[in-house]
Chain A
């Protein structure tokens, strides 16, 4: 067990990378939309935890995975509504209130888990679905076309998000309120209305991302996400606020995590080296943010700024 560069190991690693990238992708695509409209949400991880718990709970109690996903999405919408009120009506500092959302999600998901489930109990997990034709391509099929449905949904959302942002009236409004809300407002675009829509969508996707994680594992634990939501926020910067960039970042992160894991499994890295290697994905994030710092121009100009007419 020490050879990484064999076909079967590489196929398994790439497949794992794609699988691992999925929760990041959902959350980061949502956050991209939110940030393009000028709203930063650092509470993504908390919303993911709530989405994960409710999806797990529904899967445990009702065994219906579709309902489980809907539960994850619904709890995301609820959290989005709360966050919209906090940031748009009360114009709270976005960075701080996002941390509040995170801590709320962390504590509340843990409390509910303890109250409603208690001890670790396995729930149904998502089955893999091999896509016809494409799934039968040797190697490539195993890497990319033999995953659970949520993986395909996440990837399909990338072009959809790009299309919405760049080629629809709604997307135009989103970009306008994210760059120059005053100008958008003077043109009759509802700044807070547009932002409410993006906040709801972003939080719903965060909830779905959490659900994807819990249902892929078929379990829930305290702090199940382990910071996925925070990495997702970083991946938005990494991807320069573009869905394709976010996809690239998510896949890179997933592949790096999968590769490090495979190296450890194969015994290629052990001991202290393994500990260092485990930190590689986090280091990547930091490096990426340093690089991005030079591309600040691409950041939505009104990010984190509450809109006050005439203000």
Chain B
């Protein structure tokens, strides 16, 4: 089994001296407390790569909504950039974490562009509106935005998405086969983006493996409410669930419940084995480097953007990583391997569509390609509850048209 547990913690006291968080002031100062608080928040963690404008080096800057080590969405990008740095595709990268306030993220994106980074990654679909404004001001800088497949028609913006329904489908099937007589509970943040894809994929996979299994879905309506995620998990277990899964950074609370109550857990985005080594069966891990290396090769060749990319099981951007200490029954592993092969080759599709209901896999919709060219935004991936600027604009425009 692939055992690719990433435990790289890039913190201010970490081993990666060049790669440090790069914080911008996140709150306005209201009185002495806040000044002190802000000073504390930024002290010791501000650093920048001196050679950002170096002629020969390829440097990347990334802005992300949650902590760089959240064992979820943000960490998946940091781990991927680490791997790119290891294989020499990039020389270095810097990041700004916890940018849940979009205006602050916009400031960071603009600053990075001004500082001359070769690629500026806006890792959060809520940053789309900002990027649309900033990117035209820096025609010589390459920008990437995800999870989203919209490039705003700008030739220096790339989009990237994750077909998280595929790994969800595989693990949902595994869950159903391992649930014994119990039911399955899935905890999501907000019903959008790759969170929705994952949840729907998981449910579809479970039903495909065991048509009569009960699958419950609870969206907490928050990317950050750890207590509510734990409560959702508790109510599932009280109701007879023996397998749980969930997506986004607030599931840490739910994993704790799984560990305490002894029910199985399937993770996504990053490898979550270390959160609960006894009950985590497997995690779907995002390997953004698969598409980023392609994207970066394009930038190096002079193509600053215009395309959108998709990680999936087929191109190796999505990898199901098993917990090495959890013994998965052979028949379950065989079924999972079979599904991975079928989904990779395109012989099987999850039947899950963005914005649609989970369908049975036999009611196939369009197959998933490795490169998507859609213009629809992928939804949000952070504490933001509002749709992205472009989504909102599109929705409004559509509504206006209808009314007119």
A residues at B contact (CB < 8 Å): 1, 8-9, 12-13, 16, 20, 86, 92, 96-97, 99-101, 103-108, 110-111, 114-115, 118-122, 125, 213, 216-219, 221-224, 226, 257-258, 261-262, 264-267, 270-271, 274-275, 278
B150 in contact (CB, < 8 A): no
Say whether A222 contacts B230, CB under 8 Å: no
**C-alpha spacing A86/B34, complex, angstroms:** 13
Given contacts A104-B36, A119-B71, A222-B224, contact A267 B27 (CB under 8 A): no
Does the CB pair B225–A226 fall under 8 Å?
Answer: yes
Are A218 and B256 CB-contacts (below 8 A) given A115-B13, A119-B9, A119-B69?
A: yes
Shortest CB-to-CB span from A59 to chain B, Å, is 12
Q: Is there contact, CB below 8 Å, between B227 and A217?
A: yes
Known: A1-B183, A222-B66; 19 extra A-B contacts, CB below 8 A, are A1-B214, A96-B31, A97-B33, A99-B31, A100-B37, A103-B30, A104-B33, A106-B37, A107-B34, A107-B40, A108-B41, A114-B11, A115-B11, A119-B69, A122-B256, A222-B67, A222-B224, A226-B228, A261-B218
Is A222 a contact of B239 with CB atoms below 8 Å?
no
Select one of A20, A86, A120, A274 contacting B71, CB under 8 A: A120
Asked if B234 CB lies within 8 Å of chain A CBs, one says yes
10 contacts between A and B (CB under 8 A): A8-B238, A12-B234, A108-B41, A114-B12, A115-B11, A119-B71, A216-B227, A221-B226, A223-B224, A275-B219
Contacts of A8 in B (CB 8 A): 238
Contact B33 A278 (CB under 8 A): no
What is the bound-complex CA distance between A272 and B193, given in angstroms? 16
CB-defined interface of B38-64 with A at 8 Å, one 1/0 digit per residue?
Answer: 101100110000000000000000000
Q: Which residues of B contact A222 (CB under 8 A)?
A: 66-67, 98, 224
A226 to B31, CA, bound (A): 23
Q: Per a CB cutoff under 8 Å, which of B11, B219, B276 touches A274?
A: B219
The distance from the CB of B270 to the nearest CB of chain A, in whole angstroms, is: 10
Shortest CB-to-CB span from B16 to chain A, Å, is 13
Which residue of A119, A219, A258 contacts B256 across the interface (Cβ within 8 Å)? A219
B281 CB to nearest chain A CB (Å): 17
**How far, in Å, is B39 (CB) from chain A's closest CB?**
9
Given contacts A265-B236, A278-B221, contact A213 B227 (CB under 8 A): yes
Kindly state the separation between the CA atoms of A115 and B23 in the bound complex, as whole angstroms: 14
Q: Which of B207-256 contact A (CB under 8 A)?
A: 214, 216-222, 224-228, 230-232, 234-236, 238-239, 249-250, 252-253, 255-256
Q: How far is the CA of A13 from the CA of B238 in the complex (A)?
A: 10
Whether A100 touches B30, Cβ cut-off 8 Å, given contacts A125-B260, A217-B256, is yes
Q: How close is A138's CB to chain B, nearest CB, in angstroms? A: 17
Cα distance A97–B34 in the bound complex, in angstroms: 9
Docked Cα-Cα span, A121 to B232, in Å, equals: 20
- Minimal beta-carbon separation of A151 from chain B (angstroms): 14
CB proximity to A under 8 Å, residues B1-26: 7, 9, 11-13, 26
Cβ contact within 8 Å between A16 and B214: no
Set A108, A226, A257: member contacting B222, Cβ < 8 A: A226
Taken together as a complex, chains A and B put the C-alpha atoms of A261 and B228 apart, in Å, by 8
Q: Is the interface of A mostly helix, strand, loop or mixed?
A: helix
CB pair B12 A221 closer than 8 Å: no
**Of the candidates A100, A115, A216, A265, which one forms a contact with B31 in the assembled complex, judged by CB atoms under 8 Å apart?**
A100
- Report yes or no: A265 in contact with B185, Cβ–Cβ below 8 A: yes
Minimum CB–CB distance for A21 against chain B, Å: 12
Work out how many contacts link A and B, with CB atoms closer than 8 A.
Answer: 154
**Interface residues, chain B, with chain A CB atoms under 8 Å away:** 7, 9, 11-13, 26-27, 30-34, 36-38, 40-41, 44-45, 66-67, 69-71, 75, 98, 183, 185, 191, 214, 216-222, 224-228, 230-232, 234-236, 238-239, 249-250, 252-253, 255-256, 259-260, 274-276
Nearest residue (CB) in A for B250 is A221
Chain A residues with CB under 8 Å of B219's CB are 264, 274-275
Tell me which of A86, A110, A257 has the highest count of chain B C-beta atoms within 10 A of its own C-beta: A110
A299 to chain B, nearest CB (A): 25
In the complex, which residues of chain B have a beta carbon less than 8 angstroms from the beta carbon of A118?
A: 9, 11, 69
Q: Say yes or no: A271-B37 contact (C-beta < 8 A), given A219-B226, A264-B218.
A: no
Which of A105, A217, A218, A271 makes the CB contact (< 8 A) with B191? A271
Contacts of B185 in A (CB 8 A): 265
Bound state CA distance, A12 and B259, in angstroms? Answer: 19
Most buried by B among A9, A92, A261: A261
CA distance A106 to B100 in the complex (A): 13
Tell me whether A125 and B256 are in contact (CB under 8 A). Answer: yes
B10 CB to nearest A CB, Å? 9
Shortest distance in angstroms between B276's beta carbon and chain A's nearest beta carbon? 7
Min Cβ gap A124→B in Å is: 10
A122's closest neighbor in chain B, by CB?
B256
A261 to B32, alpha carbons, bound, how many Å? Answer: 39
Asked whether, in the complex, the Cβ of B9 is within 8 Å of the Cβ of A266, the reply is: no
With contacts A111-B40, A217-B253 known, is A103 near B34, CB below 8 A?
yes
Contacts of B71 in A (CB 8 A): 119-120
Separation of A264 and B231 alpha carbons in the complex (Å) = 11
Taking a contact as CB atoms closer than 8 A, the residue among B12, B37, B231 that contacts A104 in the complex is B37
| Min C-beta distance of B288 to chain A, whole Å | 19
Q: Say how far B195's CB is from chain A's closest CB, in angstroms.
A: 14
Per the bound structure, the CA–CA distance linking A166 and B88 in Å amounts to 71
Q: Is the CB of A267 within 8 A of B217?
A: yes
A96 and B221 within 8 A (CB): no
Contacts of B255 in A (CB 8 A): 122
In the complex where A118-B9, A258-B231 touch, is A221 in contact with B224 (Cβ < 8 A)? Answer: yes
User: A44 to nearest B CB, angstroms?
Assistant: 14
A-side contacts of B41, CB under 8 Å = 107-108, 110-111
